Structure 1
Amino acid sequence: MTAPTMADRADAPAPAPSEGGRASARRFGTVALAAAVVVGLVLGYVGGLFTPTLTRPGDASVEAGFARDMTTHHAQAVQMGLAAYQRGSDPEVRQIGVDIALAQQGEMGAMQTWLRSWGLDPSGSQPRMAWMAGGQEMVKNGLMPGMATPEEMARLEAAQGRELDVLFLELMITHHTGGIHMIDGVLGNSDEPDVVRTAQTMKNTQQSDLVNLRNALDRLRP
């Protein structure tokens, strides 16, 4: 019998892989796929864990400034609303007062929760209204837009009956008008979903309040 030549060996088909070889390849492919899935899951988890920390509002952010300043703004509205509720003579004015006090107290709680979740102090190092373009020029004698002066607050605390009703309505109309201006400032400069959603709710509520306040003032004003 003639021995096979080099050409014959070169033209011969390669031996088929054994079952063991195919199984090893399949096992390797499965392990590699599983490893890739695990790595993807880990990276997704780490990304989800750290992204909020990396993107949350900072101490000098629009969101933090708004939360701090609007908390102070709301605190005065709560004081005014309780004065109307406790000492007002007109049932509608008393109801408007307590509604405003309760709503704004709840919003103050929400804004303080934001600051805690962002790891920020309730009071920051930035001047009042520094978060809003031209905001510092709006601060008069330390008061933000719409806020009553100490003298006006003293008059409200001393007033009784119908005099208190009318004064409350006048002061709260000015207060809400200034507050809406501040809300527009954060709505135009923030993309933080919870902040935008809550601020829009604040604006809608205060606009509705203004209608009721003005109608009541038209009815009661001499």
Structure 2
Amino acid sequence: MENSTRKPFLIACGVLVLAVAAFLLFGRGGTPGDASAEAGFARDMAAHHAQAVDMAFTIRDKNPAGEIRNLAYDIITAQSGQRGMFLGWLQAWGLPQVGDQRPMAWMTGHGHGGGAAGPPGQMPGMATPQELTQLKQAQGKQAEVLFLQLMIRHHEGGVEMAQGLLKLSTRSEVVSMAQKIVTGQSSEIKLMTDLLRQRGAQPYPSILPAQ
């Protein structure tokens, strides 16, 4: 092939490769594909938020102190709304709410490799079934302290997931939500840490990387 025709041919091949890569990542119509970071984030964060809402309802029903009850209400309201948006995205993108990949597969190789935040395939910060049972059985100050400890760790996991998405996506609505989660949950972590100290208790060891 002569030089005069080789350059346009190579350019065309390069454009084709980029188009195929974009299709595999985002799917048809420029929407995220099933294995994209955006879809994985939406699915995992919807499940993550569902547990936070469940824990908030649990402590709310125990007639806690006013500041704890207000915090629980804020978590229920904010995270229920955000969860609805995650599921709405998946519907708008033509994707199922449950994918074939294991949880956190979208962050593999991007900072989620287990360790303090949990083993691969497990969303960081999630309470165990045993911890949820303990929360349901606890009463009074003990319940308030356990709720705050579990929710701080849970929020740290949410922050980790949102920060991971920000490294992998430029899609505006997803990036905006991830930034909102980092800001909002970081603020609530500080509030909950103060509430714990007022009760003579401390958070669990942080699962977030040292800054």
Structure-2-length-normalised TM-score: 0.77
2:151, 2:196 → 1: CA distance?
11
Could you tell me which residue of structure 2 aligns to residue 70 of structure 1? 45
- Letter of the 1:130 partner, please give it: A
Runs of 4+ in 1 over 4 A off after TM superposition: none
Q: Which of 49, 54, 66 is residue 91 of structure 1 equivalent to?
A: 66
Which is further off, 53-62 or 141-150? 141-150
Q: By how many angstroms is 1:52 displaced?
A: 9.1
SS state at 1:131 partner: helix
2:77 corresponds to 1:115: no
Distance in 2 (CA, whole Å) between partners of 1:88 and 1:75 is: 21
- State whether structure 2 residue 108 is matched by structure 1 residue 129: no
Number of the residue aligned with 1:173: 152
Structure 2 portions without partners, runs of 5+: 1-25, 202-211
Deviation, 1:142, is: 6.0
- Deviation digits for residues 72-131 of structure 1, max 9, x if unmatched? 111110011111211142111111111111110000000001000100000000111000
TM-score of the aligned structures, taking structure 1 as reference length: 0.73
Residue 159 of structure 1 aligns with which residue?
Answer: 138
Tell me how far apart the structure 2 counterparts of residues 129 and 75 of structure 1 sit (CA, whole Å): 16
Residue identity over aligned pairs, in percent, reads 44
**1:136 positional shift:** 5.8
Letter in 1 for 2:183: N
Cα distance change on mapping 1:151 and 1:210 into 2, 3 Å: same
1:204 aligns with 2:179: no
The CA RMSD over aligned residues, in Å, is 1.9
Contact 1:129 1:136 in 2 (8 A): no
Check the 8 A contact 1:57/1:118 in 2, yes or no: yes
Q: Deviations over 1:43-92 (max 9, x none)?
A: xxxxxxxx994311000000000000111111110011111211142111
Structure 1: gaps spanning 5 or more residues = 1-50
The residue type equivalent to 2:176 in the other structure is R
CA distance in 2, matches of 1:142, 1:129: 6
> Does residue 66 of structure 2 align to residue 60 of structure 1?
no
CA 1:140–1:133 in 2, change beyond 3 Å: closer, same or farther? closer
The code of the aligned residue for 2:157 comes to: G
Give the structure 1 partner of residue 19 of structure 2.
none
